[in-house]
């Protein structure tokens, strides 16, 4: 249990957020639904107003993994940091519990962490879907990969085919009927050796957006993501004691025309701390 005294008056969700006690804004509403918060000894289930001096008790398991944390929110969009291991669909369902008008825009693989954005109304949904479709947004990933790259920066081109029944993709250097062209940009940020293994930390940019593109494309050229159980190396993963790919969507920059409903977010970058 976490207990503290409110130092100001206001909605309890905001008071808990400002208290910086390790309980995220999204977690507060789940606690309220479960009546796991008390104000002056009384259990509550709504985002009530509290007064300065009120005692707040929170029955919260800090060891429990949260699905996401909020990075930014206004009346039109919600930007979150999805936890590794969380399904994008589960994240959306939890968001919908407190944002009934939220709209699903894009997804991340279960074991990929990082930034996702959701629309909170129809107009924003239209603008965000258009931006992702036309690839006018700049989304960057950070990956920890096996080996050292000969070229420290470049754009990789290959062809990809999705195998639906196996939830797997195949990569070819040459065009084959049924395969789609993919382009993956990368830049080496750091190189080092760990556990006797050469490691490169890279920033990745997608010029096409296919299922498992980053993971499969890097594996195809011999630089699989460490921790990736599907496209990586089980022996290397065991050395690093990882069962999830070390891949994070760490940055998203939005671009909109002046006529856009979301133009106030033009050039806005949402970036996770290093």
Query: Are 33 and 121 members of one domain?
Result: no
Tokens 């905001």 belong to which residue? Answer: 14
d(CA 57, CA 266): 41
The answer for residues whose C-beta is within 8 angstroms of residue 23's C-beta and 6 or more apart is 2, 16, 17, 31, 58, 60, 62
Q: Tokens in use for 212?
A: 């498992």
Tell me the CATH number at 27: 3.10.290.10
Residues lower than pLDDT 70 in the chain: 61-65, 274
Task: Tell whether 262 is covered by a domain.
Answer: no
Q: What is the pLDDT of residues 36-66, one digit of tens each?
A: 999 999 999 999 999 999 999 998 765 556 8
User: Are 72 and 79 within 8 A, CB to CB?
Assistant: yes
What is the domain range of residue 164?
141-249
Query: Are 152 and 230 members of one domain?
Result: yes
Q: What is the pTM of this model?
A: 0.75
Q: Tokens in use for 242?
A: 């990882």
Tell me the CATH number at 95: 3.30.70
Query: Are 218 and 194 members of one domain?
Result: yes
Task: Tell whether 271 is covered by a domain.
Answer: no
Task: Tell whether 272 is covered by a domain.
Answer: no
Q: What is the pLDDT of residues 191-226, one digit of tens each?
A: 999 999 999 999 999 999 999 999 999 999 999 999
């Amino acid at each position: 249990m976490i207990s503290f005294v409110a130092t100001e008056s206001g909605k309890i969700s905001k008071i808990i957020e400002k208290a910086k006690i390790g309980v995220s804004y999204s977690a507060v509403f789940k606690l309220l639904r479960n009546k796991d918060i008390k104000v002056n000894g009384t259990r509550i289930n709504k985002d009530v107003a509290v007064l300065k001096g009120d005692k707040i008790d929170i029955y919260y398991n800090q060891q429990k993994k949260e699905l996401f944390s909020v990075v930014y929110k206004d009346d039109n969009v919600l930007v979150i940091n999805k936890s590794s291991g969380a399904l994008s669909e589960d994240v959306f369902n939890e968001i919908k519990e407190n944002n009934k008008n939220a709209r699903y825009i894009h997804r991340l693989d279960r074991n990929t962490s990082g930034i996702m954005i959701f629309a909170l109304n129809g107009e924003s949904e239209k603008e965000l879907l258009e931006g992702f479709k036309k690839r006018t947004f700049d989304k960057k990933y950070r990956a920890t990969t096996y080996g050292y790259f000969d070229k420290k920066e470049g754009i990789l081109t290959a062809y990809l085919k999705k195998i639906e029944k196996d939830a797997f993709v195949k990569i070819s250097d040459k065009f084959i009927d049924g395969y789609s062209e993919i382009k993956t940009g990368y830049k080496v940020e750091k190189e080092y050796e760990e556990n006797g293994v050469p490691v490169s930390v890279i920033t990745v940019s997608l010029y096409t957006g296919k299922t498992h593109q980053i993971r499969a494309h890097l594996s195809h050229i011999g630089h699989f993501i460490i921790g990736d159980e599907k496209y990586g190396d089980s022996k290397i993963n065991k050395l690093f004691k990882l069962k999830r790919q070390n891949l994070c969507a760490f940055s998203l920059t939005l671009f909109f025309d002046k006529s856009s409903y979301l133009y106030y977010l033009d050039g806005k970058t949402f970036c996770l701390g290093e």
